[in-house]
Structure 1
């Protein structure tokens, strides 16, 4: 009997030793989860919780979705904000505040075409809606249509003279137009210097190479630190092995690269239009 009792006590001790309890909650969670990243799992969980709000209940109102969309826009989750605002527009397609808010998100995402559509739709609902006028002017400015954007900035400034956004818009659009057209004074000042140049000096100045280097460095000068990324993506697009390991027909990587390159090209053209004429 004594041997059996001692054996039972040993078994109980070994069973207790196998259990591991940690006082640190982060370490305990890491042990239970294995090799998974806690921060990444929490982010996924939060996104899933926010995505559950996208299911429209029967008693939902557009204002609720608009408030959630503005909250997500302030957080920086623009795509989720657009989803909320789109849900608000499903309930009420003529909700002008939702249209203007979604237009802001599109501008922040670098999609001024979609921003212009929402702003024009809001103006069809209410022609005197000041926020829609401002958003249309902003969308036209980011599209490179500086003349029409200046017109809408002036129109909004006439209605609201105290609006700082319209004042800054008039200034930046005027500056962009002046840079795009260029002043005639530099061209006139250059003419006497060209007349005084002799043919021999022309022959000596022709083999100069720095002009070519300047023209070749224009994209890098406009994109600055993004030029290296654009070159890398352009070379990556020419690689025929851009495919997913697990799904051969999946072209999500190639699609993301194309969208990024198109966005960088659009930004490059936009910044080029703002340069003075003699620097283009």
Structure 2
């Protein structure tokens, strides 16, 4: 089935290959060759970021296709470079690394502390939460307008950075901080391009 998918990719029918490979990977998520071929199929559909994700997943598995996988990674990165600027490429690769690391460490994240049932503490928590939300909303309104969809990524990265530091995941925290700096630099640049009236 994987060889048929590979043939479909080579014949210019990557959509057919994706259907077959999705079925294969449903039963064996770590199949190196299937991950690599799916990366190729995604690359030829123009989904370079998704292709890169599958190449990296394949690279984590031991196998005989290391050179082909590395070639796929270089090819996908080059395509992304042509589609977006080089800084955005580093941002995307950093995010992919973070998401990969989070998949590995998700079991190590802390569980929420048990909550008190007293009415006073519940009411106090609700009031504090509302106040914090209002303050955050006021501060973030301008950033949200400028960053657009990247604003949600910024919030996620801040939360991830805090959780990673709590867990002692220094590499994840470094990547998150690097991505936060990148988004803030872009925000600063975009603010200068469109000053407020």
TM-score band w.r.t. shorter chain: 0.3 to 0.5
Structure of higher CA gyration radius: 1
More RCO (CA 8 Å, sep 6+) = 2
TM-score by length of 1: 0.29
TM-score by length of 2: 0.41
